[in-house]
């Protein structure tokens, strides 16, 4: 390859005939390193060594941090030993190289809108991102960051179990949370990938939260020929996953400040369809969620969820509430039933109303699912207004 680099106009020769087996290593390298960008490839070989598509830099300034771009351009082989990026400045002096890199980084920084630092995160978002990382497919290539048994506990429960200590204190230099013993316990069937451990410090140096979320939502739009597959994440899921991976960047709440979102309790049983109270059945998991999110469930049938917290009513008057669910659901305010949508049924919408003073009111929404489809939609109607989803900022 060194000889080829010194003769960019020289044609590449090959006597390879058409075949349907695996590419010879030489031809695979021709494709992987995009040699045809500078060299002429014989027609018989070209269909088998089509060049890869380079990453899309149209919004790189809003996605990748300037310090990372600078370090990567100076030493691409050291930062990512397996990357395909050549060292563009190897023939320049250090002074010339640094000047060229600074100018290139300044230009790349104009591509895309820069994101504000200190992205806020709800505890429920971090919990959702944590479960997504270990359940959506990331650990097929990247080593899990937490022990198998710890994933059955929410972050809040782990914090309480540790006697108030920060669970992140258990993270070692590799970014793996070691809580049970020296060797992390993996889910059955998970293969360890010691060479693909996500380094939180390195990841944080490259991305901000918004930039990483954009990449996770549609990785092939940024890297068409990259190894990262499209996991089918929604925008909210990608953001939750990004906040978990970059959890050191998110804004912590001040001590004593009320935490946005709701507490949830998750049940796995064939629950009573006629009541929101299920005596004798305890939750198998609990945690925080930004709103009434069914995404915290771990299966689709024979489960129940109970969300509880405080609802902030902005003005006094008659407020109406609507529950759409499959199967049953109930909405209670200040301990009183407002909407009863119980029973086993398909998607059904029931409304109810109550006179409320402005200020904080306790809210509890329960739902269960026996089989078939599952749905939960919670709406409110202010005096003289239309029905709308309850915004997350009204829930604490």
The CATH number of whichever domain residue 367 belongs to comes to: 2.60.120.1560
Helix (H) or strand (E) holding 333: strand 329-333
Can you tell me the distance from the alpha carbon of 257 to that of 372, in angstroms, rounded to the nearest whole number? 40
Position 255 in a domain:
no
**Domain co-membership, 270 together with 324:** yes
| Model pLDDT, residue 91 | 87
Lowest mean pLDDT among 2-16, 22-36, 89-103: 2-16
**Domain co-membership, 91 together with 167:** no
Domain count across the chain: 4
**Domain co-membership, 272 together with 383:** yes
**Domain co-membership, 175 together with 283:** no
Domain extent for 178: 123-245
Residue 333 has pLDDT above 80, yes or no: yes
Which pLDDT tens digit goes with each residue over 21-77? 556 767 767 666 667 667 777 777 776 766 677 788 888 877 788 888 888 888 887
| Model pLDDT, residue 34 | 66
Residue 266 has pLDDT above 70, yes or no: yes
**Domain co-membership, 268 together with 383:** yes
| Model pLDDT, residue 53 | 75
Query: What are the angstrom distances between the C-alpha of 387 and each of 322, 365, 378?
Result: 8, 17, 10
Residues 6+ apart with CB under 8 A from 384: none
Q: Best-predicted range by mean pLDDT among 63-67, 91-95, 160-164, 255-259?
A: 91-95
Taking alpha carbons only, the member of 104, 65, 87 closest to residue 203 is: 65
**Domain co-membership, 177 together with 205:** yes
Position 257 in a domain:
no
| Model pLDDT, residue 365 | 94
Looking at per-residue confidence, does 113 or 231 come out higher?
Answer: 231
Lowest mean pLDDT among 97-101, 198-202, 263-267, 270-274: 198-202
**Domain co-membership, 76 together with 29:** no
Residue 163 backbone class (left: φ over 0; alpha: ψ -120 to 50; beta: rest): left
Phi, then psi, of 331 in degrees rounded to 5: -125, 125
Which pLDDT tens digit goes with each residue over 243-264? 888 877 775 544 344 556 788 8
Cα radius of gyration rounded to whole Å, the chain: 27
Looking at per-residue confidence, does 370 or 112 come out higher?
Answer: 370
Lowest mean pLDDT among 101-110, 143-152, 177-186, 266-275: 177-186
Position 24 in a domain:
yes
| Model pLDDT, residue 262 | 83
Which pLDDT tens digit goes with each residue over 277-297? 888 787 877 777 888 988 888
Query: What are the angstrom distances between the C-alpha of 69 and each of 61, 90, 358?
Result: 9, 17, 51
Position 142 in a domain:
yes
pLDDT more than 70, % of the chain:
70
Average pLDDT, the chain: 76
Position 116 in a domain:
no
**Domain co-membership, 100 together with 127:** no
Can you tell me the distance from the alpha carbon of 364 to that of 306, in angstroms, rounded to the nearest whole number? 7
**Domain co-membership, 304 together with 373:** yes
Position 226 in a domain:
yes
Lowest mean pLDDT among 73-87, 88-102, 129-143: 73-87
Asked if residue 144 lies in contact with residue 189, where contact means CB atoms within 8 angstroms, the answer is: no
Classify each residue of 288-304 as buried b or exposed e, where b means 16 or more C-beta atoms within 10 Å of its C-beta.
bbbbbbbebbeeeeebb
| Model pLDDT, residue 184 | 42
**Domain co-membership, 72 together with 149:** no
Position 79 in a domain:
yes
**Domain co-membership, 348 together with 231:** no
Q: Bridge-partner residues for 319, per DSSP?
A: 354
Position 53 in a domain:
no
Tell which of 27, 48, 69 closes a domain.
Answer: 48
What value does the mean pLDDT take over residues 225-252? 79
Taking alpha carbons only, the member of 287, 375, 279 closest to residue 328 is: 375
**Domain co-membership, 240 together with 325:** no
């Amino acid at each position: 390859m060194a000889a080829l680099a010194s003769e960019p106009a020289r044609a590449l020769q090959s006597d390879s005939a058409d075949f349907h087996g695996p590419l010879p290593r030489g031809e695979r390298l021709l494709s992987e390193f995009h040699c045809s960008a500078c060299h002429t490839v014989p027609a018989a070989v070209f269909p088998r060594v089509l060049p890869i598509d380079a990453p899309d830099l149209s919004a790189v300034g809003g996605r990748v941090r300037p310090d990372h771009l600078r370090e990567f351009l100076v030493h691409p082989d050291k930062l990512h030993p397996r990357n395909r990026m050549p060292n563009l400045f190897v023939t320049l002096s250090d002074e010339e190289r640094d000047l060229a890199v600074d100018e290139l980084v300044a230009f790349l920084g104009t591509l895309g809108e820069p994101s504000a630092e200190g992205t806020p995160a709800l505890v429920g978002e971090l919990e959702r991102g944590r479960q997504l990382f270990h359940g959506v497919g990331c650990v097929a290539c990247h080593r899990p960051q937490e022990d198998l048994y710890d994933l059955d506990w929410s972050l809040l429960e782990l914090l309480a179990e540790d006697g108030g200590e920060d669970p992140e204190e258990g993270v070692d230099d590799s970014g793996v949370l070691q809580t049970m013993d020296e060797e992390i316990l993996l889910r059955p069937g998970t293969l360890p990938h010691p060479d693909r451990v996500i380094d939180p410090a390195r990841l944080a140096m490259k991305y901000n939260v918004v930039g990483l979320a954009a990449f996770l939502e549609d990785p092939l739009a940024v890297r068409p020929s990259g190894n990262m597959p499209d996991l089918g994440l929604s925008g909210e899921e990608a953001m939750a996953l990004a906040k978990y991976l970059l959890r050191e960047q998110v804004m912590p709440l001040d001590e004593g400040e009320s935490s946005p979102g709701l507490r949830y309790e998750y049940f796995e049983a064939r629950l009573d369809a006629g009541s929101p109270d299920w005596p004798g059945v305890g939750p198998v998991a609990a945690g925080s969620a930004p709103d009434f999110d069914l995404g915290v469930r771990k299966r689709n049938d024979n489960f129940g969820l109970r969300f509880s917290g405080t609802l902030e009513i902005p003005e006094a008057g008659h407020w109406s509430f609507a529950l759409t669910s499959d199967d049953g659901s109930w909405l209670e305010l200040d301990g009183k039933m407002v909407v009863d949508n119980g029973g086993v049924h398909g998607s059904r919408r029931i409304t109810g109303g109550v006179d409320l003073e402005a200020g904080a009111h306790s809210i509890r929404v329960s739902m269960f699912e026996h089989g078939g489809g599952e749905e939960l939609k919670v709406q409110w109607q202010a005096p003289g207004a239309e029905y709308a989803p309850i915004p997350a900022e009204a829930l604490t």
